[in-house]
Structure 1
Amino acid sequence: MISAASRPYIVASVPVLREHGLTITRCFYQRLFAAHPELKNIFNMPNQQSGTQQQALASAIFAYAANIDNPDALAPVISRIVQKHVSLGVREEHYPIVGKHLLDAIAEILGAAATPELLAAWAEAYGLLATALITEERKQYQAHGIEPGEYRSVTVVRKQKESETVTSFYLEATDGKALPAFQPGQYISVAVNIEQLALRQLRQYSLSDAPDNGHWRISVKREEGSATADNSYPAGLVSNLLHDQYQEGDVLWVSPPCGDFVLPQDDDTPLVLISAGVGVTPMMSMLQGSLQRSPQRPVNFLYATLNGRHHPLKGELSKLSRRHGQMRSHIAYEKPADDDRLRMDYQQQGYLQLAQLPDALLPHDGSYYLCGPTSFMQIQRNALLARGVAAHQIQQEVFGPSLLQHLQ
């Protein structure tokens, strides 16, 4: 709990952060990487170059200040940050480094407005947040039985193209031992060395298969994106490398399964999985996990993509639909291809419109899970709320800059 002496300074910072937050975070990262270039191995450098990471941190600082007296709102966000940090191998000694350069950036950008009292208040606020994160991360590392930054080697035993842009990599432990169990919906970080940049980069990929199949599977979308002016950190840096250079028999280094976007073990309400694009990957794991562990639980699988050629794991979904009578699927293709068949390959043309769907697909007592682009999830969440679904029934997966959006 922030002290009574510091609280007014943090609260008063909210409008200042709204105006200057992005400038502060740009200054912060410049200072951080100048002093500690080795930390580039933890951060997503294409996101740094595009500015999305600076915007994300600005949003995080603003949200933290705006909710300093609302721990219930911050708790789920802290949980997600802890999971992400564990997958990245964040260590306790990183926190004082970040704190120093953050406070220095606030002082530089705000100038005379950054009084000793204001800086002391932010030092206290940052210290409280760092302590909470360190405590929870320590528990997670102990639960996984690893040291911070420790990764496991896995071998690509199968590589399979799933659509025009998505390829699956089937992974087994290089030492032949069983891989740790995971919960449907979790992800792993994949560490890849970019030799031409003398840089290691980490990316998170959802596990897309059932948890009890004896292997891990990630289904990776090739991210084309747009190159930057100097092309030093091109978009799709890691996904393109995985698609183009990693083959069966190659070794990857990965984190333990992380993430709290998972299915509760004791929930038997109707399950509704709604996704778009590559957001289908954790949903396929959730779908298969539910069918295996709760074979009587009704599951409705709603998915949106461009067309059949951009529909990853399509054949797998069709097989599951035929095998399991308690499962319904509804597919929306924005622009069906010539060989896509209405009512067979897809049921809705255009965007996924929940308002047009029957109650059988969207039960009022259902448990809803959303994954996909941020705008897609926001549209579907609003549509569910409009149909009378309670907010607590809706969970959604978020990565990167979207993490704190709901707090702003």
Structure 2
Amino acid sequence: MLSEQAAPVVRATLPAVGAALDEITERFYAGLFADRPELLRDLFNRGNQANGDQRRALAGSIAAFAGALLASPETRPDVMLSRIAHKHASLGVTSDQYKVVHEHLFAAIVDVLGEAVTPEVAQAWDEVYWLMANALISLEAGLYAEKRVAEGDVRRPMEIVERHEETADTASFVLHHTDGRPTGSFRPGQYVSVRVGLPDGSRQIRQYSLSAAPGRPQWRITVKRVDGEPVGEVSTWLHDHARVGDTVEVSAPFGDLVLPEGEGPLLLASAGIGSTPMLAMLDHLATTGSRRSVTVVHADRSPADHAHREELHRLVGALPNGSLHLWYEQPGTTDARPGRVDVSTLDLPAGVTAYLCGPLPFMRQVRGGLLAGGVAASAVHYEVFGPDLWLGGEN
């Protein structure tokens, strides 16, 4: 919690700092990468830097953390911190990097706010930073210990043993360790980081959900080619170059949006490639003979764009109390409903726990519909592919 001296200073300056955070984070990253270009080359997602998503996500997380410290000084925003810690651990972030971030972040704050950064203001925001940083360092240390690896040493070479073209722009890759050891278990819904070498000598990293149940001799990831500007560097490389027999570097599994234990009813709602963590959850439920009530919702452009479409039908059909509800923008001759998902049309059981994954507009729409229908906010959880722009650490 903030000290008695820092709390009023942070409260008084949060509006000004919050208003300037976008400019602060822009200058922060510029200074950081000028001093440590290897971080942009080999750690940070260059696409998210180019389009500003990473900058906006950092600004949002700082503002959300400071606001949470003021609103609930006796508690930590653990949902937000856990999500960040899992992302960091999958990238192999180390504790010493927080000192580098501190140096350049506070240089940017002084550069942007100038004389407004008095010694009292600097000390108060230093507290905010280190409260957040030390919480993340502790959580990440726990994640590394859980995986039985040294700090940051999360990646191992894995061989591609199968490749399947799921749609025109989506491919799945089946992986196993090159040394023959078992792939290891994970919790349904988790993801791995994949690092590949690109033609310019960089080694870029991206996270991909494990799209089949744990307990199998191999892991499977499903990768959608990211078009547009900037183009997805790693997804493009995997689609254009990764073949059976090739080797890629893959992290241990991380992620906190995971299938809950117990027998409570579930709603699994996804759009596009957001179906991948849901497939692992459904595969696990079907494999273990679960009799839970499972309502599955998926939205996509068309049947041809829906990756693992037949597999989804098969998995839901294997659940005695499973139901599938599809929405396609262009449903064609299928029985899917046209347009956007409308959860108000669903007959959801009392006490349902909802898991959402897909583009932010989709998740906001579905979450709003669930809350309007009486589902508790604490029962709605989400996963964002890429920087978390859903500000405030909502769950």
**TM-score, scaled relative to structure 2:** 0.95
Identity %: 41
Q: Is the partner of 2:350 in helix, strand or coil?
A: coil
Whether contact under 8 Å (1:205, 1:218) holds in the other structure is yes
Shift of 1:172: 0.8
Q: Is the 8 A contact 2:190 2:258 kept in 1?
A: yes
CA contact (8 A) 1:153 1:253 kept: yes
Could you tell me how far apart the structure 2 residues matched to 1:153 and 1:35 are?
30
Paired residues of 1:303 and 1:331 also in contact (CA < 8 A): yes
Amino acid at match of 1:284: L
Where does 1:136-147 land on structure 2 (aligned, <5 Å)?
Answer: 136-147=139-150
CA contact (8 A) 1:334 1:349 kept: yes
**Post-superposition offset of 1:278:** 0.5
Alpha-carbon distance in 1 for matches of 2:380, 2:19: 32
Residue 61 in 1 paired to residue 62 in 2?
Answer: yes
Which residue pairs with 2:392 in the alignment? 406
Within a 5 Å distance, the mapping from 1:149-298 to structure 2 comes to 149-150=152-153, 151-196=155-200, 198-226=201-229, 234-265=230-261, 267-298=262-293
User: How far, CA to CA, are the matches of 1:13 and 1:244 in structure 2?
Assistant: 49
Bigger drift between 19-28 and 398-407 goes to: 398-407
Q: Does 1:118 align with 2:121?
A: yes
Report the more deviating stretch, 160-169 or 119-128.
Answer: 119-128
CA distance in 1, matches of 2:311, 2:234: 26
Q: Does 1:20 align with 2:9?
A: no
Amino acid at match of 1:286: M
Who is 1:356 aligned against? 345
* Cα drift, residue 170 of structure 1: 0.5
CA–CA separation in structure 2 for the residues paired with 1:329 and 1:139? 37
Cα deviations by residue, 1:144-196 (Å, 9 ceiling, x for unpaired):
01123321111110000111221100111111110120000000000111232
1:203-244 CA deviation, whole Å, 9 max, x = no partner? 010010011222111100100012xxxxxxx42111000001
Alpha-carbon distance in 2 for matches of 1:52, 1:138: 26
Among 391, 394, 399, the residue aligned to 2:377:
391
Match of 1:82 in 2: 85
Q: Is the 8 A contact 2:159 2:246 kept in 1?
A: yes
Which of 93, 96, 99 is the matching residue for 2:96? 93
For 1:162 and 1:318, the matched residues in 2 are separated by 15
Q: How many Å apart are 1:37 and its aligned residue?
A: 1.1
RMSD: 1.6
Tell whether the 8 Å contact from 2:269 to 2:356 is kept in structure 1 after alignment. Answer: yes
Is contact 2:266-2:295 (8 Å) kept? Answer: yes
What is the Cα deviation at residue 73 of structure 1? 6.0
Give the letter aligned to residue 32 of structure 1: L
Q: Secondary structure at the match of 2:69?
A: coil
Cα distance in 1, alignment partners of residues 5 and 222 from structure 2: 50
- Secondary structure, in 3 states, of the residue corresponding to 1:195? coil
Matched position secondary structure for 2:273 = helix
Q: How far apart in 2 are the matches of 1:398 and 1:98?
A: 23
3-state SS, counterpart of residue 351 of structure 1 = coil
Amino acid at match of 1:366: V
CA distance in 2: counterparts of 1:13 and 1:55, whole angstroms:
19
CA deviation after TM superposition for structure 1 residue 325, in Å: 3.1
Give a deviation string over 1:356-394, Cα, whole Å, max 9, x none: 33x1xx222222111110110110011011111111221
Task: Check 1:406–1:74 CA distance in 2 against 1; reply closer, same or farther (3 A cut).
Answer: same
Q: Note the C-alpha offset of 1:13.
A: 2.3
| Gaps in structure 2 of 5+ consecutive residues | none
Contact 1:208 1:283 in 2 (8 A): yes
The residue number in structure 2 matching 1:32 is 32
Cα distance change on mapping 1:406 and 1:375 into 2, 3 Å: farther
Structure 1 residue runs of 5 or longer lacking an equivalent are 227-233
Higher alpha-carbon deviation: 213-222 or 54-63: 54-63
Following the alignment from structure 1 to structure 2, what is the Cα–Cα distance between the partners of residues 320 and 143? 30
| Equivalent residue pairs, number | 390
> Could you tell me how far apart the structure 2 residues matched to 1:294 and 1:321 are?
12
With structure 1 as the length reference, what TM-score do the two structures score? 0.92
User: Offset of 1:18 from its aligned partner?
Assistant: 2.9
Q: 1:184 touches 1:285 (CA, 8 Å); kept in 2?
A: yes
Does 1:380 find its partner at 2:366?
Answer: yes
1:406 deviation in Å?
3.4
Deviation at 1:403, TM superposition (A): 5.2
Q: Please give the alpha-carbon distance, in whole angstroms, between the structure 2 residues aligned to 1:404 and 1:371.
A: 12
379-388 or 142-151, larger mean C-alpha shift: 142-151
My pick for the range that moved more, 390-399 or 306-315, is: 390-399
Q: How many Å separate the matches in 2 of 1:185 and 1:206?
A: 7
Amino acid at match of 2:315: L
The aligned residue for residue 3 of structure 1 is 3
State how far apart, in whole Å, the 2-side matches of 1:131 and 1:324 are: 43
Q: CA deviation at 1:72?
A: 4.3
CA distance in 2, matches of 1:116, 1:389: 46
